[in-house]
Amino acid sequence: MNDIFLKACRGEEVPYTPVWIMRQAGRYLPEYQAVRAEVDFLTLCKTPELAAKVTLQPVEKLKVDAAILFSDILIAVEAMGMHLEFSDRKGPVLSDPVRTKSGIDRLVIPDTEDSMPFVIEAIKILRSQLNVPLIGFSGAPFTLATYMIEGGSSKNFLNTKRMMFQNPGLFSLLMDKITMTVISYLSSQIRAGAQAVQLFDTWAGALAPEDYKEFVLPSVKRAIAELKKEGVPVIYFVNECAALLKEIKKTTADVIGIDWRIDLKDAIKGLGKKFAVQGNLDPCALFLPHEKMEDKVKDILWKGEFAKGHIFNLGHGILPESPAENAVALVEAVHRFSER
Ligand code: CP3
């Protein structure tokens, strides 16, 4: 079993820098497209054998050092009682967005084994087949709240911020319910076999630092503190994290995911010695000429040396247009240039 990824999460000595890619299973892979041609996205998420199959595709093709469960952050939102659909044009659509007390009261804190058994089953299948660690994941409370309040993706998060600013009591009631869901959902994934977990806070970067501190940080701290008790590394990824690092460092995460808009050296300096870091190549670097991409890889590897531990990754999910052979070359380059 290749456990280099887990070692790097804990800040232990590693023979080379481990690498995986956010959204590594997906549309840029012809093998994924072939599976998706037969089933819709939600069916794929809810069929353990198929979810396991597409989870394994990038592990075999790219030779990454970790697998991430194939699912979606909105699966748990559906289990809380909302109606979820994925449209090709609009992305995720949650009907009847949550904007009132009664809307919040109707939400349940789902039991994973009862309402998302396919997640547990997929993890068990994967653990029997993988020779790299399996990462479980969930949306972080704020990012899930934006989807629930907006009813889908959003540009300005107006409805979310309106609830936050005009009715902070209501907002915190919703955040509490989501936080309890996240804790229970990820604990179940860990007990089923997930060897690390990542919290995706994709939209927290849309907040002013003081609002992040007041409205979001307490839930993140609580979720991470609870999950740490399960004994596996916890990764916290915030997209557009630069201005929030001084708050993010107040969490007890093992690893902080860094997007590409900040120099990794500055991010490490801002976070201090306590954390391993994960990142942070611009996903569009996969469109660079090969040598230019390699230069960027070397630069990030060198900067990563200054952290307690470094896991190489893109600064956000791989784009569907990415040439798969460049993703293969990226992983190979990380391994080659970082060999100790
Ligand atoms: O990383 C992996 O390989 C595991 C799979 C994974 C998916 N979604 C599969 C997916 C993970 C970790 C996610 C997380 C997720 N989902 C996030 C947080 C990470 C991030 O990228 O910031 C968010 C915000 C979502 C919500 C979501 N899911 C949106 C907005 C969309 C539509 C836009 C898009 O990227 O297509 C999805 C759909 C989705 N989730 C797809 C995949 C492979 C595409 C579905 C398809 O096959 O058509």
278: three-class secondary structure by DSSP: strand
Residue 104 has pLDDT above 90, yes or no: yes
Give the separation between CA 68 and CA 200, rounded to whole angstroms: 12
The answer to whether residues 163 and 149 touch, using CB atoms and an 8 Å cutoff, is yes
* For the chain, percent of residues with pLDDT exceeding 90: 99
Q: How confident is the model at residue 83 (pLDDT cuts 50, 70, 90)?
A: very high
Tokens of 151: 């009813």
- Ligand 1 contact, 154 CB (< 6 A): no
pLDDT tens-place string over residues 232-271: 999 999 999 999 999 999 999 999 999 999 999 999 999 9
pLDDT tens-place string over residues 322-332: 999 999 999 99
pLDDT tens-place string over residues 11-38: 999 999 999 999 999 999 999 999 999 9
Residue 26 CA to ligand 1 center (angstroms) comes to: 8
Residue 32 CA to ligand 1 center (angstroms) comes to: 13
The answer to whether residues 170 and 178 touch, using CB atoms and an 8 Å cutoff, is no
**pLDDT computed for residue 101 by the predictor:** 98
DSSP calls for 109-123: ---HHHH-HHHHHHH
Alpha-helical runs (H) found in the chain: 4-9, 30-36, 41-46, 48-62, 75-79, 101-106, 112-115, 117-129, 141-150, 158-166, 168-192, 209-211, 217-228, 245-248, 264-271, 290-304, 324-338
**pLDDT computed for residue 169 by the predictor:** 98
* Cβ-proximal residues to 266 (8 Å cutoff; 6+ apart), any chain: 242
Buried b vs exposed e over 21-59: b needs ≥16 C-beta within 10 Å? bbbbbbebbebbeebbeeeeebebbbbbebbbbbbbbbb
Burial category of 90 from C-beta neighbours within 10 Å (exposed 0-12, middle 13-18, buried 19 and up): exposed
**pLDDT computed for residue 5 by the predictor:** 99
pLDDT tens-place string over residues 276-295: 999 999 999 999 999 999 99
Residue 121 has pLDDT above 90, yes or no: yes
Tokens of 7: 């070692």
**pLDDT computed for residue 88 by the predictor:** 86
**In terms of Cα–Cα distance, which of 179, 180, 185 is closest to 201?**
179
Q: Mean of the per-residue pLDDT values for the chain?
A: 98
Residue 310 has pLDDT above 90, yes or no: yes
Question: What's the mean pLDDT in 201-220?
Answer: 98
The CATH number assigned to the domain with range 4-338 reads 3.20.20.210
Pairing of strands 134-139, 91-95: unpaired
Pairing of strands 83-87, 67-68: unpaired
In this structure, what DSSP letter does residue 317 have? P
Give the separation between CA 281 and CA 258, rounded to whole angstroms: 9
Give the separation between CA 159 and CA 146, rounded to whole angstroms: 8
- Ligand 1 contact, 68 CB (< 6 A): yes
Dihedral sign (CA 250, 256, 261, 266): positive
Rg over alpha carbons for the chain, rounded to the nearest Å, is: 19
pTM over 0.75: yes
Residue 87 or residue 201, greater confidence = 201
Residue nearest to atom 8 of ligand 1 (CA): 72
- Ligand 1, residues 33, 73, 258: which to mutate, most atoms within 8 A of Cβ? 73
Catalytic-residue membership of 147: yes
Residue 168 has pLDDT above 90, yes or no: yes
Q: How confident is the model at residue 127 (pLDDT cuts 50, 70, 90)?
A: very high
Pairing of strands 276-281, 134-139: unpaired
